[in-house]
Amino acid sequence: MKISVIGCGYVGLVTGIGFAELGNSIIFVDTDDVKVNMINALKTPIYEPGLEELMGRNKGRFYATKDYREAIQNSEVTLICVGTPSMEDGSIDLSYVKASAEQIGRSLSEKDEYHIVVVKSTVLPGTTEEIVKPIIEKESGKRAFEDFGLAMNPEFLREGNAIEDFFKPDRIVIGVRDESTRSWLEELYRFFSCPKLVTDIKTAEMIKYASNAFLATKISFANEIGNICKKLGMDAYRVFEGVGLDHRINPAFFRAGIGFGGSCLPKDIRALIRRAEELGEQPRILRAVIEVNENQPLRLIELLKKHVQSLRGKKIGILGLAFKPGTDDVRESRAILIVKKLIEEGARVLAYDPKAVENFRKLFPDIEYASSAEELVAESDAIMIVTEWRDFENLDYRGKIVIDGRRIERAMKEAKIYEGVCW
Ligand code: UDX
């Protein structure tokens, strides 16, 4: 199939290259010259394990352009994969989705053949039919579900594992209204053997939010129980090992620690809270999930203060800046809250991450950065582990004060003074 992909962030790029690997031809569209040029030079503008190799292997099956018209004319299906960030008040910013719908609509006005538009960006229930559809219809002069197809197909890719998640998804959710779009999408996903759930469009939109809300709830729940375990002198990991063995519960996403960050969970939960409030609902559980998550990183500082009375002038090493291992993404990373608080307390911050230093430096240009994890360990008065990069298992923590938010076993065994946040 000929597919155009709008937006070359994590979702767009991984999805497009994944479909290229399956034999489709892909045209990427982005407004950013740098991204377009990099993709055409077979380089990835983001760090995602395995992606650049996959790009190299599929050379000739994809290219990138800034020109919507060219992309729509030369494809049968368009996947909207642009970002939906948070506004100041937590509500969802749809400006990129709206802008791409406008451009797609304009391009469709010049195209005679049938075309399918699929929203993959995370959008609140109702958005595809109430916002995207009227924009495309207005700009194209065509009618959805008759002259062109429209669907919502949420993605469930985890950064750092995105390639594997693309090829081996737990499920594929296809939100459609008309038969023709449905059969096109079933054809597009024919190589995947996982369960495929076909729903109406707004149910597909809600499945994405409810999934992310549940994952976030599981983490905050693990952290709340973990905090109680810590006070009682127990290891939360041992507790959740026992809990997760219940098949109704499942062991995944019970890693207690300093909470969730990233480009999806925090923003999606906030957007759902705002929408629920607009509907006159009181989303008590979701609010508590965010509250637990905001407090959790600060527990590391409390634990540090048990061992280092005044932080003023002390050099505190932050091991890990990415919101999780395997990515250079620092969006909503727990490191941000921790570094802010340490600066407030007068500490000198020395930071290190294998991939995310450049992105973190944009937020905190004035703190110090170590050139290696070994240097950070050697030079810090105390160390805080904020991201569980595997390499951190190879460091020598002997004689050190380590406050661990992510459970690095070696530090647990070796450090002179060791505190785990929930263990
Ligand atoms: C998430 C969803 O998992 C994915 O399905 C969706 O499409 C996008 O959002 P992602 O943000 O890439 O993916 O990362 P994820 O692996 O879900 O981790 C999110 C955050 O939760 C990270 O900061 C991670 O450290 C934290 N986390 C995860 C925990 O603290 N404990 C856990 O048990 C699991």
| pLDDT tens-digit profile, the chain (423 residues) | 999 999 999 999 999 999 999 999 999 999 999 999 999 999 999 989 999 999 999 999 999 999 999 999 999 999 999 999 989 898 899 999 999 999 999 999 999 999 999 999 999 999 999 999 999 999 999 999 999 999 999 999 999 999 999 999 999 999 999 999 999 999 999 999 999 999 999 999 999 999 999 999 999 999 999 999 999 999 999 999 999 999 999 999 999 999 999 999 999 999 999 999 999 999 999 999 999 999 999 999 999 999 998 999 999 999 999 999 999 999 999 999 999 999 999 999 999 999 999 999 999 999 999 999 999 999 999 999 999 999 999 999 999 999 999 999 999 999 999 999 999
Regarding whether 403 and 281 lie in a shared domain, the answer is no
Residues 160 and 219 in one domain: no
Nearest-angstrom CA–CA distance, 380 and 11: 37
Residues 22 and 170 in one domain: yes
Handedness of CA 206, 212, 217, 220 (dihedral sign): negative
Domain count, the chain: 3
Same structural domain, 168 and 192: yes
Q: Are residues 304 and 363 in the same domain?
A: yes
239 and 312 inside one domain? no
Q: Which atom of ligand 1 is nearest to the CA of 262?
A: 11
Last residue of a domain, one of 172, 199, 226: 199
Buried b (16+ CB within 10 A) or exposed e, 180-192: ebbebbeebbeee
Are residues 160 and 45 located together in one domain of the fold?
A: yes
Residues 102 and 228 in one domain: no
Residues 269 and 135 in one domain: no
Q: Which atom of ligand 1 lies at the shortest distance from residue 264's CA? A: 9
Q: Is 156 in the pocket of ligand 1 (CB under 6 A)?
A: yes
Instruction: For 96-136, give the DSSP string.
Output: HHHHHHHHHHHHHHT--S--EEEE-S---TTHIIIIIHHHH
Nearest-atom number in ligand 1 for the CA of 122 is: 7
Are residues 223 and 360 both part of a single domain? no
Pairing of strands 149-152, 172-176: antiparallel
Residue nearest to atom 1 of ligand 1 (CA): 158
45 within some domain: yes
pLDDT number for residue 309: 87
Question: DSSP labels for 350-395?
Answer: EEE-SS-HHHHHHH-TTSEE-SSHHHHHHH-SEEEE-S--GGGGGS
Three-class SS of residue 173?
strand
What is the residue whose two structure tokens read 């703190």? 367
Which of 264, 390, 407 best tests ligand 1's pocket when mutated (most atoms within 8 Å of CB)? 264
Q: How far is the CA of 123 from the centre of ligand 1 (A)?
A: 18
Residue 329 lies in a domain: yes
Nearest atom, ligand 1, residue 255 CA: 33
Whose Cα sits closest to atom 14 in ligand 1? 158
Last residue of a domain, one of 241, 270, 295: 295
CA 416 to CA 147: how far, in whole Å? Answer: 69
Question: Is 95 domain-assigned?
Answer: yes
Question: Domain check: are 8 and 143 in the same one?
Answer: yes
Q: What is the pTM of this model?
A: 0.96
Domain shared by 223 and 343, yes or no: no
Neighbouring CB atoms inside 10 A of 178's CB total 14
Domain for residue 109, yes or no? yes
Which of 120, 207, 212, 265 is the best mutation target for the ligand 1 pocket, counting ligand atoms within 8 Å of the beta carbon and taking the most?
Answer: 265
What pLDDT does 90 receive?
Answer: 87
In a domain, 204, yes or no: no
- For ligand 1, atom 17: residue with the closest CA: 158
Considering 239, 274, 295, which residue would you say is the last residue of a domain?
A: 295
Q: How many CA atoms lie within 13 A of 86 on its CB side?
A: 19
Residues in contact with 242: Cβ distance below 8 Å, sequence separation at least 6, in sequence order: none
- Residue 327 in contact with residue 360, Cβ under 8 Å? no
| Whole-number pLDDT of residue 94 | 97
Q: Please tell me the distance between residue 83's alpha carbon and the centre of ligand 1 in angstroms.
A: 17
Ligand 1: which atom is nearest the Cα of residue 265?
A: 9
Answer whether residue 238 is part of any domain. yes
Cα 321 to ligand 1 centroid, rounded to whole Å: 15
CA of 36 to the centre of ligand 1 (A): 28
Long-range contacts of 402-409 (CB under 8 A, 24+ apart): 403/300, 403/303, 403/304, 403/307, 405/257, 405/258, 405/297, 405/300, 405/334, 406/255, 406/257, 406/258, 406/320, 407/237, 407/255, 407/257
Q: Which two tokens stand for residue 103?
A: 């451009």
Q: What is the CATH number of the domain that holds 224?
A: 3.40.50.720
In short, whether 124's Cβ falls inside 6 Å of ligand 1 is no
Task: Give me the domain span that covers residue 286.
Answer: 209-295
Residue 53 DSSP code: H
**Amino acid 31: pLDDT:** 96
- Verify whether ligand 1 is closer than 6 Å to residue 261 (CB atom): yes
- 158: CA distance to ligand 1 center in Å? 7
Buried b vs exposed e over 56-77: b needs ≥16 C-beta within 10 Å?
A: eebeebbebbeebbebbbebbb
What local confidence, expressed as pLDDT, does residue 156 receive? 97
Q: How far is the CA of 415 from the centre of ligand 1 (A)?
A: 28
